[in-house]
Structure 1
Amino acid sequence: MKIFLSIIITLSIISMPQENIFSKEQRQYEETPSYAKWGRLAMSKTKEKYPDADIIDYLHRGKEVKETYSVEKFKLWLRKENHEFGVFIDLKFETETEKLIDITFTETSQ
Structure 2
Amino acid sequence: MLWICCLSILASTAFARHPEPEPSYAKWGNMAVQETMKRYGFPIIDYLHVGRTYISARKAEEKFKLWLRKPDGKEFGVYVTIRFDPVTDRVETIGFEETNR
By the TM > 0.5 criterion, same fold? yes
- Given the alignment of the two structures, is residue 92 of structure 1 paired with residue 83 of structure 2, yes or no? yes
Question: Which has the larger helix fraction?
Answer: 1
Instruction: After TM superposition, give the deviation of residue 63 of structure 1 in Å.
Output: 0.2
Q: Which has the larger radius of gyration?
A: 1
Aligned to 2:45: 56
Q: List alignment gaps of at least 5 residues for structure 1.
A: 1-15
When the two chains are superposed, the root-mean-square deviation of aligned CA atoms in Å is: 2.1
Higher relative contact order (CA 8 A, sep 6+): 2
Partners of 2:66 and 2:95 in 1: how far apart? 13
TM-score (norm. length: structure 2): 0.79
- Given the alignment of the two structures, is residue 109 of structure 1 paired with residue 100 of structure 2, yes or no? yes
Aligned to 2:3: none
Partners of 1:96 and 1:39 in 2: how far apart? 18
Aligned to 2:35: 45
Runs of 4 or more consecutive aligned structure 1 residues displaced over 4 Å after TM superposition: none
Identity over aligned pairs, percent: 43
Partner of 1:62, secondary structure, is strand
Q: List alignment gaps of at least 5 residues for structure 2.
A: 1-9
Corresponding residue pairs, total: 89
TM-score (norm. length: structure 1): 0.73
Instruction: After TM superposition, give the deviation of residue 31 of structure 1 in Å.
Output: 2.2
